[in-house]
Amino acid sequence: MSAPLRHRWLAVAGATAALAFVVAGCTSNTPTDKGSESAAPAPVAAGGNDEPGDKVVIGFSAPAADHGWMGSITASAVDEAAKYSDVELKQAEATNDVNLQISQIEQFINDGVDAIVLLPFDGAALTEVANKAMDAGIVVVNVDREFDDPNAARTTILGDNYGMGVSAGSYICEQLGGKAGAKVAEIAGIDSLPLTQDRSKGFKDALGTCGLKVDARVAADFTVQGGEAAAANLLQAQPHLDAIWNHDDDQGVGVLAAIEAAGRNEFFMVGGAGSKNVMDAIKADNTVLKATVVYPSTQAADGVKLARLLVQEKAMSDLVDVQVPRKIQLFAPVVTKENVDQFLPTAFES
């Protein structure tokens, strides 16, 4: 990432750096003045946090894995739980049925689990039952789609949809800034979703900082077929483009198919989410796809790790604070040929 983009995100990176301490491991924070009676006790070192402790039973529920990103969400959560001998993960059947997901959480409550890691199909619809779990003394970790009531979760882990748009727009500004008459297109996801609206707003705002704008925009549906149809319509209507941002790498499979069928290569494309096939294409550097913006599929895995810390009354070791933060928002970095190897280990399969 270039210096201008690093500066643009300096404040955000500072705010979200705490998450890296959980995922990558931490060092102890020993107070300098050990003799001070007013000094707070040193937080537990990361090694202590990862050592086996009291057993923690975690209920996990997420929507159906009908999308590469969602499949990775569940797989990474299961893999993370398996790393700890003191964690028992009770995995509910993945479902897009709101009522079924509510009944799953009610069953977790009846089972008396210690914690629930929940990526709700609909945050608003799952708020009431999440509150019920919290009232029962069960730690709830909300993932990706926020509840209507912040009290329905002890901790919330979010991606940064607005930040995705800003990262994509900033990258395009770096490539096209100063080019007179540059034409930029956007292939969005499902327009009715707040996450899509946030991504589009961030993209528009970032482009505006360098005098660019969205000249053409179409919406798809996060599927391969929808991406192909939307891209075909866009390319037919626009005889020349300089850049395209596609919100989602799964639908991007279809977008690339439409581009290849149209024989177009006068522009470059930026993806979104961080799939392995997209990162492989970026590394190979033999298509119009030159970058993607990560929307981490590790959120539920982080949720499992934080749920364990919360139940065992541990903290994030490199923070001075003695408890896990209430909300963590993950960064949306741009992946290019120069840094792709850093991000490939966390890429998901489309």
Q: Say if residue 76's pLDDT is above 60.
A: yes
* Residue-averaged pLDDT of the chain: 88
Residues 166 and 215 reside in one and the same domain: yes
For residue 260, what are the domain limits? Answer: 161-294
Mean pLDDT computed over 249-276: 97
**Residue 30 predicted with pLDDT over 80:** no
The answer as to whether 323 is a domain residue is: yes
Question: Does 202 share its domain with 151?
Answer: no
Backbone angles phi, psi at 193, to 5 degrees: -85, 135
pTM score, whole prediction: 0.81
Q: What is the CATH number of the domain that holds 198?
A: 3.40.50.2300
pLDDT score at 66: 80
Q: Domain check: are 76 and 165 in the same one?
A: no
99 lies in some domain: yes
Residue 22 confidence (pLDDT):
38
Residues 212 and 316 placed together within one structural domain of the fold: no
What is the pLDDT at residue 126? 97
Query: 38-68 pLDDT, tens per residue?
Result: 333 333 334 578 899 999 999 999 999 888 9
How large a percentage of the chain has pLDDT more than 70?
A: 87
Kindly state whether residues 70 and 128 are assigned to the same domain: yes
Q: Where are the beta strands (DSSP E) in the chain?
A: 56-61, 87-91, 115-118, 139-143, 155-158, 184-188, 214-219, 243-246, 268-273, 289-294, 327-329, 334-335
Average pLDDT on 152-169 reads: 97
Residues 6+ apart with CB under 8 A from 313: none
Contact, 344 vs 22, CB < 8 A?
no
In a domain, 341, yes or no: no
In a domain, 7, yes or no: no
- What's the number of domains the chain is made of? 2
Which tokens belong to 87? 């964690």
pLDDT of res. 35: 37
Residue 3 above 70 pLDDT? no
**pLDDT for the residue numbered 37:** 37
Question: pLDDT band for position 24 (50/70/90)?
Answer: very low
Same domain, 320 and 229: no
Q: Average the pLDDT over 90-106 and give the result.
A: 97
Same-domain pairing of 279 and 165: yes
112 shares its domain with 225 = no
Q: Has residue 277 got a pLDDT over 60?
A: yes
